[in-house]
A = this chain, B = another copy of it.
Amino acid sequence: MENEKAFVRHFFQAGVPQPEKLDIIAQHFHEKLIDKHDHLLSEGKISQEYLLLESGFMRAYSLDTEGDEVTTAFYGAGQPVFDVASFFMHTPAKESIQALAPCSGWVISFDDLNKLFHSIPEFREVGRGILVKGYASLKLRMQSMITETAETRYAMLLHSNPEIFRQAPLKHIASYLGITDSSLSRIRRDISRQHK
């Protein structure tokens, strides 16, 4: 009966093998559709939803002191999407999360998520794993930002995450890489010249 939530069940299957527990987990998720350009979360609001993205593409961004957008993350299908600080600390979000393509996924509230964390140990292990992996990849990105040139960072992102380049305009990718869109354009020109 809960089989429309096959995606949710599949997402947790490796960490929570017991079907009965998967049932309980799946019951607490609700379908969510987001139109292209619409927001899952807006800066200043308190995040209420933890989203598992089944299809589509999203980005998180915030505004710098000059008011320019800085893209801080991209999310593809299969990934959990939420603002860690706002969702877990109930503080106003410092960033917004927006659909770059029509999105569908499954959301759970903070209270429901916490109930599951308390009642299903395996589930909270999965939750911790998600946090820890996000932390680790952010650290890698910081390391790369410090030690590599923009050209190298661009090449690495293109290689490791080509989907981003199919879904996001270059200006978003540029600010994600920590450079301006002009510089990214020049980097692309230089690389294409090298390949001749």
Contact = CB atoms under 8 A, between A and B. Distances in A.
A89 B132 contact: yes
User: Chain A binding site: helix, strand, loop or mixed by DSSP?
Assistant: helix
Interface string A78-111: 0000001100110000000000000000000000
Copies in the complex: 2
Contact of A131 (B132, B143, B178): B132
Contacts of A138: 135, 138-139, 142
B139 A141 contact: no
A42 interface: no
Given A118-B121, A121-B118, A70 B143 contact: yes
Interface of A: 62, 64-66, 68, 70, 72, 84-85, 88-89, 118, 121, 124, 128-129, 131-136, 138-139, 141-143, 145-148, 175, 178
